[in-house]
Chain A
């Protein structure tokens, strides 16, 4: 009998399904192999969509490789409202009692997951970097602490669901066999819920001139060692020589206002990236940054300080002035 259910929050992303869903589904599928070996039956993998999931989103959920798609509908659910969404999800959890509930650590996920933790009086593991079922059947959630210097194992032994949020970009998407998931409509009772306490007035979508860092294949990243605004432009110039490239930054560069888009910050409190090539210029290698780049295929670092921490995490190290090296690199690239 398949009595365990793994819920995965399918967040709306401008009419599409947020990519975190597919990453989590791939991971859930991996976990499910252990569950199947231990229980004799796999858990049911369930997508959970709240609000008016459009045709395109529904189709990609049905084809995603999940067993079930819960479509939570209601008049108060047309626009994102964290308190109403949380109440709707709580009612679904009470009805279906999922074993595990996974969220991406997005703005929505990080608001709703801890709220559900209170409403269902259960544990929530935050920003997990890995998930597994151990030999005794416990769901082990690896959470980072101290900027990622330390990873701690967290379990929620006595309460359900076991809720975890996972940083987008960490788990790779594997194509799952499509099996046309069963759609289950769920209508929560929301008459009593006050929806006027929090109202989403407007969504200000930021126009980007380049790829978001977590989608880029080449990242030219600058830190405090870039020294000034003018030098910062050099990163853009070098990035222009690569397809699917983006300029990233560290917290100090953002604090100096050299980098203006906080969405390009890489690290534990920013984006996690896994490009083919990462070039770090003038970056010391604080743990909270290193954590965000450690899955990159190839890491090149340039720093004046030969003892810079970032060198330990690099495939190639260059001890020298980042501005001089990048200037020479730009010149050389112009001949390609």
Chain B
């Protein structure tokens, strides 16, 4: 089973509180926030590796990023992916999800033409930074494969290589169980698995694995459909929402605090049920 995995380097979500907007330039200041492989994309790699362990084949990771994205793709190779493609060119920059997906589709098609077509394309359901969740659907639609997002479980059934997968999609009231015919694009949620740790051996091996860089010269494309020009949405001003409140402090012993809390709670209109047996919550 040949599996392509779409990955994105993102600023570490643990440090989003430190991101600010420069009051003068109105630009984002994310200085000192390191990049990591988008957490949901690591789950996509993990899922791909498990399928490969079962059915054979290869796992190719694709990342569209500036040149320093190379390091993050090496991390994916160290985790166990077989090949990596960095899609990188200044002209790809400023792309919205439609132009990004178009560019990724061109890269997938080029790699498939050179090394065999993909049965399955996995991606993290959304990136931690932009978090649109559009890319799996938009890649699927543009490459012409079946696609589903928000998947929390993939069942591959039989021992031989499947032509259809059973997938479970998280939705508001529970889960939708679908069958999806391959080839397909699937966006996986972080709930799907816990990604493996990288071994030291993995890191050493990663440096010897095939690594391609696609740019506007070697990747066939329509220049009206990449970067800013290919993006129907335009980004305007950015601002930080003000969520500050007065933050009055309550102090004292736990009992004293509890006494005061009950008064304050009643003032909010919350209804206290005596005896604490509210089963019709």
Chain B, residue nearest A306 (CB): B249
From known contacts A107-B150, A114-B137, A156-B233, infer whether A149 and B245 are also in contact, taking CB-CB under 8 Å. Answer: no
A127 proximal to B (CB < 8 A): yes
Is there a chain B Cβ closer than 8 Å to A222's Cβ? no
Q: B245 — which chain A residues lie within 8 A by C-beta?
A: 299, 312-315
Q: Is the CB of B265 within 8 A of A277?
A: yes
Q: Which residues of B are found within 8 Å of A332, using beta-carbon distances?
A: 255, 258-259, 261-262
Provide the bound-state CA to CA distance between A242 and B270, in Å.
7
Known interface pairs A117-B134, A269-B131, A329-B258. Does A123 touch B233 (Cβ–Cβ under 8 Å)?
yes
Which among B126, B141, B238 is the interface contact of A119 at CB below 8 angstroms? B141
| Interface pair B270/A276, CB less than 8 Å apart | yes
B146 CB, min distance to chain A CBs, angstroms: 4
Is the CB–CB distance between B146 and A198 below 8 Å? yes
- List chain B residues, Cβ under 8 A from A153: 235-238
* Contact of A82 with B281 at beta-carbon distance under 8 Å, contacts A118-B101, A155-B234 already known: no
Binds B, one of A24-32, A50-58, A95-103, A204-212: A204-212
Q: Is the CB of A290 within 8 A of B173?
A: no
For residue A108, CB closer than 8 A to chain B, the reply is yes
Using Cβ atoms and an 8 Å threshold, which residues of chain A touch B265? 277, 300
- What is the 8 Å Cβ interface bit string for chain B, positions 229-258, against chain A (1 contact, 0 not)? 001111111111101111111110111011
Say yes or no for B133: interface residue by CB 8 A criterion.
yes
Find A107's partner among B17, B134, B169 (CB 8 Å cutoff): B169
Which A residues are in CB contact (< 8 Å) with B150?
107, 110-111
B: residues with CB less than 8 A from A are 11, 13-14, 16-17, 19, 21, 28, 96-98, 101, 126, 128-134, 137-138, 140-142, 146-150, 166, 168-181, 184, 190-191, 231-241, 243-251, 253-255, 257-259, 261-262, 264-265, 268-281
Q: In the complex, what residues of B have CB within 8 A of residue A80's CB?
A: 176
Kindly list chain A residues whose C-beta atoms are within 8 Å of the C-beta of B275: 334
Q: Is residue A331 contacting chain B, with contact meaning CB distance below 8 A? A: yes
- For the complex, give the distance between the alpha carbons of A114 and B138 in Å: 6
Would you call A192 an interface residue if the criterion is a C-beta within 8 Å of the partner chain's C-beta atoms?
Answer: no
Chain A residues with CB under 8 Å of B272's CB are 241-243, 333, 336
- Whole-angstrom distance between the Cβ of A77 and the nearest chain B Cβ: 16
Query: Nearest-CB distance from A235 to chain B (Å)?
Result: 12
Most B CB atoms within 10 A — which of A118, A157, A327?
A118
Residues of B within 8 A of A124 (CB): 97-98, 132, 134, 233
Q: Are B130 and A145 in contact (CB under 8 A)?
A: yes
A123 CB contact (under 8 Å) in B19, B98, B240, B255: B98
Contacts A86-B141, A286-B13, A314-B245 supplied; 20 other A-B pairs, CB < 8 Å: A82-B147, A107-B150, A107-B172, A114-B138, A115-B140, A124-B134, A147-B131, A151-B239, A154-B234, A155-B236, A196-B181, A197-B184, A209-B281, A217-B270, A241-B276, A243-B270, A277-B269, A318-B261, A328-B257, A336-B272
